[in-house]
Amino acid sequence: MGLSVVVSSFFKALGQLGDRRFRRVLWLGIGLTFALLVAAYVLFLMFLNWLGAAETVQELIGPVSWLPDLITWSSFFVMIVLSVFLMVPVASAITSMFLDQVAHAVEDRHYPHLPEVPQVPFWDGFRDTVNFLGVLIAANILALIVYAIFPPMALFIFWGMNGFLLGREYFMLAAMRRIGREGAKQLRRKHAGTIWLAGTLMAMPLSIPLINLLIPILGAATFTHLYHGLQK
């Protein structure tokens, strides 16, 4: 039953990706994510300058005029590599501020008989987003160490860890709208395996560039359907 409701929820969500409200949330999430990554890169360069990285290396190997440029370009490539791992968590967390709109769009189309629920207040959504962002970034940074220790298992660790985190977050988002935080926690514990499975299904495309940017939207829609399916 768990697998069938997950697959059904996923394909229902996939069929609604063209929804205007979905596209609006997608572009907001992408725009804010790139802005945050650029800001992080600028802060990283400022940190290198504050450390005096170029001067330290020149003291060891002698004067090299191209060294500051090398460090700058090297830092850029480091940020690009890190963004492969960090951009998705950041995008997921930022986009989650707006995912209540995705849930509304899903329920308007598929569950029109349900009573309206109030929009999540902006600051409540912002607080949850900051908490989720902190957990995601910390987990993915720590996972970089595990990837280095167990390279052959890196992809599976990435899927499993992010599947657990995404499943937990998106299910809570969908369920809290209808049954509150405590009710959502109880239902999540009851169906923990199914929710992790659905989260892993969301996490697997995270390693595919560009496609991964759709995952926050697809995840919110899938877990809205999953919540209603499990409630039945």
* Of the listed ranges 26-40, 143-157, 197-211, the one predicted with least confidence: 26-40
DSSP letters of 100-164? HHHHHHHHHHH-TTSPP-PPPPHHHHHHHHHHHHHHHHHHHHHHHHHHHHSGGGHHHHHHHHHHH
Block residue for tokens 């599976």: 156
pLDDT tens column, 14-70: 888 888 888 888 787 777 767 776 777 677 666 666 666 545 545 554 554 544 555
- How much is the pTM? 0.74
- Region 148-153 average pLDDT: 87
Provide the pLDDT for residue 127: 75
206, pLDDT greater than 70: yes
Contact criterion met (CB below 8 Å) for 157 and 147: yes
Provide the pLDDT for residue 27: 82
